[in-house]
Structure 1
Amino acid sequence: MPMLEHSRGRAYYRHWPAADPHAAIVFLHGFGEHTGLYHRYAYALNAAGIDLWAVDQFGHGLTNGDRGNFVSIEASSELADIVTELAERQRPGLPLVAQGHSFGSVVTLCRLLDNPGRYRAGVISGAPLAPLTGLSDGDSFDLDPAWLSADPFYLDSLENDPLAFVDANGSVLSHELERAWKRFESDLPGLVVPTLAVHGTADPIAPVGAVREYAQQIECLQLKEFAGGRHDILNEAMHRDVAAAVIEFVDASTAG
């Protein structure tokens, strides 16, 4: 299995190569997910000439760690750095785009703020950019699958995939989100990397309102809303339209 070496342990990654790519995306998933849930999205990108690289974050998928424990924003960022270096070595000079979903989007925004010259553009989905309510009971996170998607294929994948989960200790996640929200209040308006946010209007986990407010403040942050879409917008019933929006943005951002 393809594994990354990290001081905290080995991490599993996947690479979906396009036949003749003109861009590559480095992707970070969200809580309870793993890279195997994104085959359908990867194939849509590949058909459009875009490579996809993704890593199972700590505590998820086939990577070491306690279930649901991302460790920290910095640890997730380090995994993305290693994957980025792999992508750069395989195809030097290929334009790179940083992408993340849910907690992965939080890490991606921090990375774009920390190193704005590393990626040509950014893509975020289901981004929790403001405090969440009603999702945790003490240290426990327990998500209703119906909050995530209305797509029966994806819901079946969640139910029958032993690597996917909707409940776990969420204390680390909560702590890291609190850190990010404090930073975003002061730093996110200074974002300079062209970034697309794709978000469902019916997302009950990370309501779209906070993303709308930031998009109104930040010139380089575009928001594409999908009516009725829930949290896992990349795996929603309208996943083809979402992928098409991402492809259009990546093409425009990496042209030339």
Structure 2
Amino acid sequence: MPFLGHERGRAYYRHWAAAEPAAAVVFLHGFGEHTGLYHRYGFALNAAGIDLWAVDQFGHGLSPGDRGDFGTIEDSSALAEQLTDLVAQQHPGLPLIAQGHSFGAIVTLFRLLDGAARYRAAVVSGAPLIPIPDLLDADTSFDLDPAWLSADPFYVDSLENDPLAFVASDSTALTRELDRGWDRFGTDLPSLSVPTLAVHGVNDPIAPIGAVRAYAEQIEALQLVEFAGARHDVLNEVQHRDVAAAIIDFIHRSY
């Protein structure tokens, strides 16, 4: 796999290439995941003429770091920026879409709020916009039940048997960086100006949809599409085709 250089080491990335791309998505995954879990999504985008570029964040996949330790929001943002630079070099003028899932959604929103004007639009999924109760106590261990994430047996099997995926690790770094997001969003998120689509499972037990609904009602740039019965990893849920179709429609309307 190709990689991006960073002071923490080589961060590996994947590129699902459309034959003649009309837009490109730069994607950041969530806790316990890696880019290889998103091949179905990549192929769906490719069929619609959209490139997908995704990087294994630190502590995940093939990239270095203690298991589950993303580092800081700035570390992940730097990876997204490097990947974006690479896309822009290979496809000058191609419309760029920022996307993130779960913790990746937090990083993506930080980047948009900090003035990432190079993106035509953005997509977030499973965005934890308010504190997660399980991360508020003193116990730094974080152990997810795969059933909280998806009802898709193929995806759950991947989480349970893929050596690069996991559902448990120390959450010290994750909690620290999520706290920064939660502290900021109440004040700054209403100023979001980049057109952003939030796709979210109605039955998400990790990042309850109520917070996203509330923000979508007050932020003109934020649009919410809900998926009944879907859980946290909505891009890899039973309804993954419908989720991808909603994202593709949004992207096509963004350029």
Bin for the TM-score computed over the shorter chain: over 0.9
Q: How big is the shift at 1:158?
A: 1.1
Partner SS state of residue 6, structure 1: coil
Determine the structure 1 residue equivalent to 2:232: 231
* 2:214 matched residue in structure 1: 213
Counterpart position of 1:105? 105
Q: CA deviation at 1:154?
A: 0.5
Q: Which amino acid aligns with 1:215?
A: A
Distance 2:95 2:12 in 1: 23
Could you tell me which residue of structure 1 aligns to residue 115 of structure 2? 115
Listed as ranges, the gaps of 5+ residues in structure 1 are: none
RMSD (Å) for aligned C-alpha atoms: 0.9
1:170-181 → structure 2 map (5 Å cutoff): 170-181=171-182
Gaps of 5+ in 2: none
Structure 1 position 222 matched with structure 2 position 219: no
What is the DSSP-based 3-state SS (H/G/I as helix, E as strand, rest coil) of the residue aligned with 2:232? coil
Other structure's SS at 1:9 match = coil
Distance 1:231 1:105 in 2: 12
Q: Deviations over 1:84-133 (max 9, x none)?
A: 01100111000000000000000000001112412000000000000011
State the partner residue of 2:35: 35
Deviations 1:49-92 (A, max 9, x none): 00000000000000010000000000000000000011001110
The aligned amino acid for 1:193 is V
The one-letter code sitting in structure 2 at the alignment partner of 1:7 is: E
Match of 1:84 in 2: 84
Counterpart for residue 146 of structure 1? 147
User: Secondary structure, in 3 states, of the residue corresponding to 2:253?
Assistant: helix
1:19: Cα distance to partner?
0.5
Counterpart residue number, 2:251: 250
Q: After TM superposition, list the pairs within 5 Å mapping 1:119-138 onto structure 2.
A: 119-134=119-134, 138=139
For 1:180 and 1:159, how far apart are their aligned partners in 2? 29
Provide the residue aligned with 2:8 in structure 1. Answer: 8
- How has the CA–CA distance of structure 1 residues 128 and 208 changed in structure 2, closer, same or farther, with 3 Å as cutoff? same
For 1:176 and 1:235, locate their aligned partners in 2 and report how far apart those are by CA, in whole Å.
24
Instruction: Provide the secondary structure at the position in 2 that maps to 1:123.
Output: strand
Give me the whole-angstrom Cα distance separating, in 1, the residues matched to 2:80 and 2:56.
Answer: 10
Amino acid at match of 2:112: L
Q: What's the offset of the Cα at 1:137?
A: 6.5
Aligned to 1:201: 202
Q: Distance in 2 between matches of 1:246 and 1:146?
A: 24
Question: 1:107 is aligned with what amino acid?
Answer: V
Match of 1:57 in 2: 57
Per the alignment, residue 163 of structure 2 pairs with: 162
Aligned to 2:94: 94
**Paired letter, 2:224:** L
**Alpha-carbon shift at residue 134 of structure 1 (Å):** 2.9
Task: State the shift of 1:191 in Å.
Answer: 0.3
**Number of residue pairs matched?**
254
Supply the distance in 2 between the matched residues of 1:181 and 1:159 (Cα, whole angstroms). Answer: 30
Determine helix, strand or coil for the equivalent of 2:134: coil
Aligned partners of 1:18 and 1:51 also within 8 Å: yes
TM norm structure 1: 0.98
| Cα distance in 2 for residues equivalent to 1:2 and 1:45 | 21
1:30, 1:102 within 8 Å by CA — same for their partners in 2? yes
Range moving further from structure 2, 114-123 or 36-45: 114-123
What SS does the aligned partner of 1:27 have? strand
SS of equivalent residue, structure 1 residue 52: strand
| Percent identity of paired positions between Structure 1 and Structure 2 | 71
The answer on whether the counterparts of 1:116 and 1:192 sit within 8 Å (CA) in structure 2 is no
